[in-house]
Amino acid sequence: MEDNFNPDNFEEFLQEQVGNQRMYPSDAVWRDINKKLHGEKRWPALTIAAFLLLSVTVGICVHFTPKSSIFLKPGLEPISISKQPVTSDDVLNKLTSSAPFANNNNNNNQVTSSAPNIGNTDEVAEQTTNSSITDPATVNIPNENIALEQKATSRSSSAYYTGRVENYSGKDEKLVLNKTETSLVQETVNEEGLIKSTVEEASPIAQITPPSRAIVSPGEFKKDYNDKNMVDEFLKDHKNDITLYTVTKPEDGEA
Amino acid sequence: MTEEYIIAGCLHNEPSAQRELYNRFSPKMLAVCYRFAQSREDAEDMLQEGFIKVFTQIHTFQNKGAFEGWIRRIVVHTCINFLKKYKKFNDSVDLANADYVYIKEETIPSIMQAKQVTECIRHLPIGYRTVLNLYAIEGYSHREIATMLDIEESTSRSQYTRAKSMLENILIKKNILEKPKAQFGWLAGVKK
């Protein structure tokens, strides 16, 4: 079918044909327009991602630091014998721990704080400690077979000792002491498995003594050595000890 | 999102409103640019410049006419300035000397009729094409066209007459228009 129209309709025809035509531009056109209107945003996503990654890393480092006992078997508590760094005093004290001196310690039921393995006691001391261990203190528990080593657990002078001590009393019995801040529970386990327990009111048994680093044996204080006479004084004081461990060089004929 | 809301957002330089305005009017405006341009790349460049002008000059819109018409005028002026800026007129036929231009109709792709008409227009010499677009499709008067293109008004009229004749011949050969019967003049029918 044909439409007859005069030449004046030519403009109408063109407008009908192309007036409502649509074409879709590429995305680059809008990106360029947006960039010119608002400027270029430089990697906002990358900046945010880097910030989040840094935050997560710091959070993990702060909140998930591995414990110091991570390499121990479960159920085993570390036995803290001495947390003080080894100093020259420790070396000197160990040198003085000869047999007569150790016997003296056993007789007096005392263990020097810096010589933990002296004597024949089998005690295992557990401490409720905080991180601020300052000076060692000697604690005496009124039991003839128990000698307890303890370090001061706090700077406060009114600290109580809280701990658990096990010992074999020598008659097939196992003596267990549970000492808390308010009571002392003494349990005796005999060979048949029967348990006897005794509860006593606790007293501030662990009064912190002043720094006693010089105590090496009862009534005797270690001398302080200075730089000038250190060797001479040391040799003079430990003459007997050094003699015990001195090996004389054999003569040629004896070899 | 209504047109008033879009305009208010664009006045506050909000990217979402600008994107909405662009999505709504860019297809029609790209078609306008495409009729003036030599290629699609040129058309997109014209569209980009046109929309930047729209967004930066939107405060001059006074709600006296249609918003689409206001955008269309900005885009058309941008196209003319683009052609002048890159001296597209000198690359092709000058407005005053295009009497004996021969168009190879075989080069026009056979696609849908609307697009085919557009392609026929785009194959006209650039001077003819510009006057034809401005007068027949965009509705500018010859005086306005003369002002826009810096030519005489009579030149615009004569160029339009020649452009019209050339386009009719192309459309008839493409079987989009039929040769008119003698009693109604030679341009008398449109094949549907």
pLDDT recorded at residue B82: 92
Q: Which two tokens stand for residue A153?
A: 């657990």
pLDDT tens digits along B32-81: 999 999 889 999 999 999 999 999 999 999 888 899 999 999 999 999 99
Q: Is A111 exposed, middle or buried (0-12, 13-18, 19+ CB in 10 A)?
A: buried
- Residue B2 pLDDT class (50, 70, 90 cuts): confident
Is the pTM of the predicted complex or chain greater than 0.80?
no
pLDDT tens digits along A7-35: 557 888 888 888 778 899 999 999 999 99
Judged by phi (left if over 0) then psi (alpha if -120 to 50, else beta), residue A6 lies in beta
Q: B59 — contact with chain A (CB < 8 Å)? A: no
Mean of the pLDDT values across residues B92-121?
59
- Residue B91 pLDDT class (50, 70, 90 cuts): very low
Amino acid at the residue A163: G
B114 vs A176, more confident: B114
Cβ B187–A17 below 8 Å, yes or no?
no
Q: Is A137 helix (H, G, I), strand (E, B) or coil?
A: strand
Cβ A17–B113 below 8 Å, yes or no?
yes
Quick check: B83 pLDDT over 80? yes
Q: Which residues of B touch A32 (CB under 8 A)?
A: 48
Q: Which residues of A touch B141 (CB under 8 A)?
A: none
Q: Are B75 and B32 in contact (CB under 8 A)?
A: yes
Cβ B30–A5 below 8 Å, yes or no?
no
Q: Is A252 exposed, middle or buried (0-12, 13-18, 19+ CB in 10 A)?
A: exposed
> With a cut of 50, which residues of chain A have pLDDT below it?
1-6, 97-162, 205-208, 212, 214-215, 255
Percent pLDDT > 70 in chain A is: 28
Report ipTM for this prediction. Answer: 0.78
Q: Is A193 exposed, middle or buried (0-12, 13-18, 19+ CB in 10 A)?
A: exposed
Q: Are A93 and A112 in contact (CB under 8 A)?
A: yes
Q: Which one of A10, A24, A31 makes the best mutation probe of the B interface by having the most chain B beta carbons within 10 Å?
A: A10
Per DSSP, helices labelled H in A4-82 are 10-18, 27-38, 44-63
Q: Are A113 and A82 in contact (CB under 8 A)?
A: yes
Q: Which one of B160, B187, B191, B192 makes the best mutation probe of the A interface by having the most chain A beta carbons within 10 Å?
A: B187
Q: B169 — contact with chain A (CB < 8 Å)? A: no
pLDDT recorded at residue A47: 85
pLDDT tens digits along B129-173: 999 999 998 999 999 999 998 889 999 999 999 998 888 888 888
How many contacts (CB atoms, under 8 Å) link A and B?
101
Please tell me the distance in Å from A60's CA to the nearest CA on chain B.
38
Q: Are A92 and A235 in contact (CB under 8 A)?
A: no
Phi, psi of A237 (to 5 degrees): -70, -30
H/E run at residue A181: none
Q: A11 — contact with chain B (CB < 8 Å)? A: yes
Nearest CB to A3; choose among B137, B181, B189? B189
Interatomic CA distance for residues A202 and A136, integer angstroms = 21
